[in-house]
Structure 1
Amino acid sequence: MPESALSVPGFAELDDSSALAYRKAVLLGRFVPEEIAASLGTSIEEARAVEQVLFALSLLRPMPGEPDLLVPVSPDAAATDLVGATESHIRELQQAVSDVRTRMRSLLPAYFESRQQRNQAEAFDVISDVEVLQAMLDEWGERCRSEVLTAQPGGPRTPSAMAKARPHTMQRLERGVRVRHLYQHTVRRDLATTAYVKAVTEAGAEVRTTDELIDRIVIYDREVAFLPEQHVVGRKPGAVVVREPTLVAFVCKVYDHLWSGATQFTADAEDTPEVTDDLKRSIVRLMAQGYKDELVARRLGMSVRTCRRYISQIMLDVEATSRFQAGVNVAQTGLLDHHG
């Protein structure tokens, strides 16, 4: 008799010869290697090899009372035989996961109520474990009902990060959640960011850019705010999770202020003059404060090379041959004046 299902190497390889042999077996009502070989014009060895494949795929089954005689079964029955146990196991695991989440979520009211009673002044959590933090961000992203606000400084993110973020954003938009993103101007020339922006804005998201951002901010439903952990050495920073209503309202006001002064980002559009002027003003202001090129670039989320190209353009615009002369000419032209 052939080996049992799944034990034949490469069992899933149902080639044309196996398909023809299966069809012939269905017509004959049984699989007898000699008859199949004669019918298809193949050797007995080839017919027995096909028998092994069909048996491994559960397309052949011993006839009750005659274990040496194999008869064909329907593909649906074969598929059920092959994957039925796995599907059942998957359903059990999914139910187990759902049960655990339900039980854990049922404890949330007790957790927050007890914390509040324990210390009314304790209005935030510090989450240092990055994996725990990501799990919390995902959880709040699934639970949010009305609005998600994000501010992402530091220039373009990696293509993999943008690809991972896209389905989450699209799911929230499909649920009717308002999504607003704030980036720095320098992301406008990044292909991964523009592709993401094009996809999410077409689905209803709003995206703007500005010259500088204070730090990363993520706000869900104006109820909870995630702010980056500060002064971390030797590990990746986590976040401070703020829930106290007054503090969250303040963070939202800061975000709204940044948003009102930012410029709309349309992925297919060219950079607006306002964006270019914003970058130039920011570069000049940081230079006037004594920052070196490297720090200026880091603050504005651009490469040092790009920063120096802007500096050269500024010097050309104000007809200066040195940075000192550029500073004098800038003051005279009023470039630092937003209304100039």
Structure 2
Amino acid sequence: MATKGPIGTHPHSVVELCADGKRLYASALRSGRVRRSEVETAPCLMEFALLHPDPEDTDWLRPASPTAVLAQRLYPIEREILKRRTLAIELTDSFEPFMALSAVDRSADHAITVLEGATRINSAIDAATAECQSEILTVQPGGGRSEAVLTEAVERSQGIIERGITMRTLYQHTARHSQGTIAYAEYMRQGKVEVRTLEELIERLMIFDRTVAFIPAQDDRQVALELRHSGLVEYLAKVFEQHWRRASPLLDEAPYDPPTGGITGVQRSIAKLLIEGHVDEAIARRLGMNVRTCRAHIAKIAAALGSGSRAQLGYLIAQSGILDEGSSK
């Protein structure tokens, strides 16, 4: 339990000598001794061995050398420091091989980052957009966009236009039937922005300055991959360029082949996917249309070829030559 003297407070550590202790120890050092009765208010002086009994007169106490007391107090501390330093050296030696390996692989530490949830995905894309200096390449499969999505796209694109960044976007042909998408493309023409369409596209893709790319990792688009490996990003950029060369400007005339034998260009594309074994939902997704529209086209193909069943339709498509006609144009 702590007890209070007239000035100091006890107990305390040696580095926090009370006022009485400091005064009496200094006095003992100057005079060579101090009466025992005087140090009753500073029991710390005896506890820390700063004073010891005078062998010639027990009523008096003599001071210990401050140098000796300091050395005695420092010794265990220095010994602990030495022990810690030795441990630090041993730990460094133990981890040095791993640090060397880490240095070699450091460039790949963030080559692929998994982004979970729409909030984190959008945040990463916004950051890449803000950091972009020269070029953005995007692939946006599917049909026309909703008004909310297009409004958000316009807001994001405003900064791109103002900063003079080149942007190229690929949509699917079905986007040509969306007035909102057409209006968006018209608006974007004020900047260095081009929009083209293809009948069938790869999955969603965004590339910024050919240094970072984003691709979906799940069909529900709640998980994406952020790619910073130069080889991967360059490969994806080449895939984009191949599709871009085959694509048609959105604001030009629709690129579908003219109907042949009552079968339109888009219906020939559906027919091709049908005989490859794709179900209606997969065909609709790949061509950027809803399932109802896809099935309506399938019904028109069946009527044009005189098919009475799905199995017969596949046979008639293969025998009709319509796919050869479409590919020869």
- 1:25 aligns with none
Q: Aligned match of 1:314 in 289, 296, 301?
A: 301
CA offsets 1:179-218 (integer angstroms, 9 cap, x no match): 1111111111122212211211343411111122221100
- 1:246 aligns with 231
Report SS of the residue matched to 2:225.
strand
Report SS of the residue matched to 1:336.
helix
How has the CA–CA distance of structure 1 residues 319 and 116 changed in structure 2, closer, same or farther, with 3 Å as cutoff? farther
CA offsets 1:102-160 (integer angstroms, 9 cap, x no match): xxxxxxxxxxxxx8755444421111142122122112112211111100113223210
- 2:83 aligns with none
Offset, 1:238: 2.5
- 2:328 aligns with 339
For the residues of structure 1 that align with 2:279 and 2:193, how far apart are their CA atoms?
36
For the residues of structure 2 that align with 1:175 and 1:120, how far apart are their CA atoms?
30
* 1:140 matched to 2:131: no
Q: Aligned match of 1:289 in 255, 276, 289?
A: 276
Report the residue type matching 1:205 in the other structure: V
Q: RMSD in angstroms over aligned alpha carbons?
A: 2.8
For the residues of structure 2 that align with 1:181 and 1:216, how far apart are their CA atoms?
11
Q: Aligned match of 1:273 in 256, 277, 291?
A: 256
- 2:169 aligns with 181
Alignment of 1:126-205 (within 5 A): 126-205=114-193
CA offsets 1:288-334 (integer angstroms, 9 cap, x no match): 12233233222222122211222233334445555455444433453
How has the CA–CA distance of structure 1 residues 324 and 238 changed in structure 2, closer, same or farther, with 3 Å as cutoff? closer
Name which one, 1 or 2, has greater alpha-carbon Rg: 2
| Contact map agreement 2:142 2:287 (CA 8 A) in 1 | yes
How has the CA–CA distance of structure 1 residues 287 and 133 changed in structure 2, closer, same or farther, with 3 Å as cutoff? same
Report the residue type matching 2:229 in the other structure: E
- 1:33 aligns with none
For the residues of structure 2 that align with 1:265 and 1:221, how far apart are their CA atoms?
23
- 2:45 aligns with none
Q: Aligned match of 1:260 in 227, 233, 245?
A: 245
- 2:218 aligns with 230
Residue correspondences, number: 222
Offset, 1:251: 0.7
| Contact map agreement 1:242 1:248 (CA 8 A) in 2 | yes
For the residues of structure 1 that align with 2:274 and 2:296, how far apart are their CA atoms?
14
How has the CA–CA distance of structure 1 residues 285 and 116 changed in structure 2, closer, same or farther, with 3 Å as cutoff? farther
How has the CA–CA distance of structure 1 residues 317 and 134 changed in structure 2, closer, same or farther, with 3 Å as cutoff? same
For the residues of structure 2 that align with 1:313 and 1:224, how far apart are their CA atoms?
44
Report SS of the residue matched to 1:247.
helix
Report the residue type matching 1:264 in the other structure: P
For the residues of structure 2 that align with 1:116 and 1:250, how far apart are their CA atoms?
26
Offset, 1:247: 1.0
Report the residue type matching 1:238 in the other structure: V
Unpaired runs of at least 5, structure 1: 1-114
| Contact map agreement 1:153 1:301 (CA 8 A) in 2 | yes
- 2:202 aligns with 214
Report the residue type matching 1:169 in the other structure: S
Unpaired runs of at least 5, structure 2: 1-101
- 2:12 aligns with none
Q: Aligned match of 1:299 in 283, 286, 306?
A: 286
CA offsets 1:256-299 (integer angstroms, 9 cap, x no match): 11112222210xx5533339855223211221122332332222
For the residues of structure 1 that align with 2:117 and 2:308, how far apart are their CA atoms?
50
